[in-house]
Structure 1
Amino acid sequence: MSPAARAALEEWLTHLRALDGRSEKTMAAYAADLRGWLSFLAHHRGGTEGLAALVTVPVGDLRAWMAHERGRGVSARSLARSLSAVKGFTAWLADRQGADATAILQARAPRFQKKLPRPLSVDGAADVLDSVGDDAREPWIAARDTAVVTLLYGCGLRISEALGLTGADHPLPEVLRITGKGNKQRLVPVLPAAREAVARYADLCPYDLTADQPLFRGTRGGALNPRLIAAAMERTRNRLGLPASATPHALRHSFATHLLASGGDLRAIQELLGHASLSTTQAYTGVDAARLMEVYAAAHPHARRRA
């Protein structure tokens, strides 16, 4: 990669951060994607080239890169994300260079089957909330784990959002202001069960929950590591006989799916989850439809005869 290309990449990443505040995890993925693309071009063409040449890359070279990525085991889903990063960088660079990047911008991403979220059943989610603290060594840790998973299922929070709460958020209000991905804020109603679970944890917690410190603490008083909640979920699902898909994030999926199944409005659920695009939330309609077909196949007389 030439120094000019490296400098352009860093400038583009800075531009993205300033434009829409994307998460550092997303930015790191984009940076890795672009470094791979630019390094491939340098090797494929036998040397580094100027910035203008990066905009006018022939479709054949782009296809060669995609074939190279698939050849080293990159999934279609990951390659589609990488291509999106390449297009974004190229469009930005083309605007600065006054060049035509149509060839790259019109390239199609590989098709892939979107995975449907795998929520728990209503009873399964309730069982998790009731028993996730059963293996804890101390009552306050049991209360902590219960409070966290109750926020994931009862409010649809991401694990990072739940663990991002501070002592200033206690006692929980009726409506929480959550800062999610891309620093986007949303308002989330808090169920009484969630407020009660957090209040119980706060009463038992041996550490001073000051306003400027994390609300949920580890055994030594530091910020709670999300891996500990994942481990508690693993023990719980093994004990309850739930599938491996019963993870902390599955509780957020369950929140959305159960709301939709109860007649919740899709756009309202989008707002509650903090999805930037309605198409992301629409994945839950696929879950609901899949369950409807299961019920149909099991219950409809004609379906039973065919089976």
Structure 2
Amino acid sequence: MTLTISPQARDALEDWLAARRAVEGSADATVNAYRRDVADFIAFMTGHRADPQGLAALMRVETRDMRAWMARLRSGEVGARSVARKLSAVKAFYRWLAEREGVEPTAVLSARAPRFQKKLPRPMAEEAAREMIGTVELQAREEWIALRDVAVVTLLYGCGLRVSEALGLTGADLPLAEALRIRGKGGKERVVPLLPIARTAVERYAAACPHPAAPNAPLFRGQRGGPLNPRLVQKACERARMQLGLPATATPHAFRHSFATHLLASGGDLRAIQELLGHASLSTTQAYTGVDGAHLMRVYEAAHPKAR
């Protein structure tokens, strides 16, 4: 790391990250993002205040310092969403410092993130989703690769999996049962029913794959036998949606969004959809599926025993 950070601040940062791993089970990618964001903040304060940012200096951060840091981010064309993410990481770090070192966090915690409009992937129409799956199969020259790509996108749409979750399956998941045990974000596990069409797609791929399905090896393989790169799934979907004339929003992640939206439109229970998606809070599911407030209340009133 080339950023200017004092040894004391660096040690505090690594201790905080270790605590997040141990207590919250934060994924490596999340931990690395936190490290970059907080280290960038400390490095900025080093130059802004013209002194090494040891723990004592971190305790003296004021509201004007926070404003200067956020202004620097925005002047560097960092989007509002990214600023909000960085500020969230810094606030979490300062909460930990307050508990462990007695740091006064008010100036940091009172900083307000810029408002931004959440951009959600648009769901595909049911017919478009089916056509995408069928067209993805036509994009590969080798049959087993075509079957592989179909199996992946069928899991995304049929089970609401994230791409990383589908690619996280291993040979130990074979033979497939009626449900999959999925380890999602933060190591949280959930059980997802496996539709017959999804089971058939995976079994067809597994039978055709030339690489042995060892229990500790990835189920979905690249051409040479290594783990399947998610970018290859993206490329197959890109070619399929261009062939069908679908918009750029028809991405692999849009299959997951379509799964939730189509279930909800068919009268699916919002709490059940929350569990299937692996969301920690209902509000996340509401935002993800693009449900308006009135529809949410209708589902709530119909499902909640005290509302009837």
What is the TM-score of this pair, normalised by structure 1? 0.91
Q: Identify the residue that residue 186 of structure 1 maps to in structure 2.
A: 190
Question: Separation in 1 of the partners of 2:264 and 2:97?
Answer: 42
Q: Deviation at 1:287? A: 5.3
Q: Deviations for 1:64-119, whole angstroms, at most 9, x for unmatched residues?
A: 10001100011111111111111111111122222322222122111111113311
Which secondary structure state, in structure 1, belongs to the residue aligned with residue 191 of structure 2? strand
1:146 aligns with 2:159: no
Q: Deviations for 1:143-192, whole angstroms, at most 9, x for unmatched residues?
A: 11111110010001111111111112122211111001111100100000
Q: Identify the residue that residue 248 of structure 2 maps to in structure 1.
A: 244
Q: Deviation at 1:268? A: 1.2
Note if contact 2:178-2:194 (Cα within 8 Å) is conserved in structure 1: yes
Q: Identify the residue that residue 299 of structure 2 maps to in structure 1.
A: none
Question: Separation in 1 of the partners of 2:117 and 2:56?
Answer: 35
Q: Deviation at 1:49? A: 4.0
Number of residues of Structure 1 aligned to a counterpart in Structure 2 = 291
1:257 aligns with 2:257: no
Equivalent runs, 1:200-239 vs 2, <5 Å: 200-239=204-243
Q: Identify the residue that residue 93 of structure 2 maps to in structure 1.
A: 89
Q: Where does the alignment leave 5 or more consecutive residues of structure 2 unmatched?
A: 296-308
Q: Identify the residue that residue 41 of structure 2 maps to in structure 1.
A: 37
Residues 49/288 of structure 1: CA separation in 2 closer, same or farther (3 Å cut): closer
Residue identity in the other structure for 1:102: T
Residue identity in the other structure for 1:74: V
Q: Deviations for 1:11-38, whole angstroms, at most 9, x for unmatched residues?
A: 1111111111111111111111111110
1:47 aligns with 2:77: no
Question: Separation in 2 of the partners of 1:89 and 1:124?
Answer: 44
Equivalent runs, 1:11-90 vs 2, <5 Å: 11-90=15-94
Question: Separation in 1 of the partners of 2:72 and 2:239?
Answer: 40
Question: Separation in 2 of the partners of 1:164 and 1:14?
Answer: 24
Residues 176/163 of structure 1: CA separation in 2 closer, same or farther (3 Å cut): same
Note if contact 2:233-2:252 (Cα within 8 Å) is conserved in structure 1: yes
Q: Identify the residue that residue 121 of structure 1 maps to in structure 2.
A: 125
What is the TM-score of this pair, normalised by structure 2? 0.90
Question: Separation in 2 of the partners of 1:99 and 1:143?
Answer: 56
Two-structure CA RMSD over aligned residues (Å):
1.7
Which secondary structure state, in structure 2, belongs to the residue aligned with residue 176 of structure 1? strand
Q: Where does the alignment leave 5 or more consecutive residues of structure 1 unmatched?
A: 292-307
Q: Identify the residue that residue 106 of structure 2 maps to in structure 1.
A: 102
Aligned to 2:179, which of 163, 175, 180? 175
Question: Separation in 1 of the partners of 2:294 and 2:145?
Answer: 37
Note if contact 2:7-2:54 (Cα within 8 Å) is conserved in structure 1: no
Note if contact 1:132-1:146 (Cα within 8 Å) is conserved in structure 2: yes
Question: Separation in 2 of the partners of 1:101 and 1:213?
Answer: 46
Q: Identify the residue that residue 7 of structure 2 maps to in structure 1.
A: 3
Note if contact 2:94-2:103 (Cα within 8 Å) is conserved in structure 1: no
Residue identity in the other structure for 2:203: A
Question: Separation in 2 of the partners of 1:186 and 1:51?
Answer: 40
Q: Deviations for 1:221-249, whole angstroms, at most 9, x for unmatched residues?
A: 22211111111101100111111111111
Identity of aligned residues (%): 64
Which secondary structure state, in structure 2, belongs to the residue aligned with residue 282 of structure 1? helix
Note if contact 1:55-1:90 (Cα within 8 Å) is conserved in structure 2: no
Question: Separation in 2 of the partners of 1:11 and 1:92?
Answer: 10
Q: Deviation at 1:5? A: 0.7
Question: Separation in 2 of the partners of 1:99 and 1:203?
Answer: 59
Question: Separation in 1 of the partners of 2:216 and 2:289?
Answer: 39
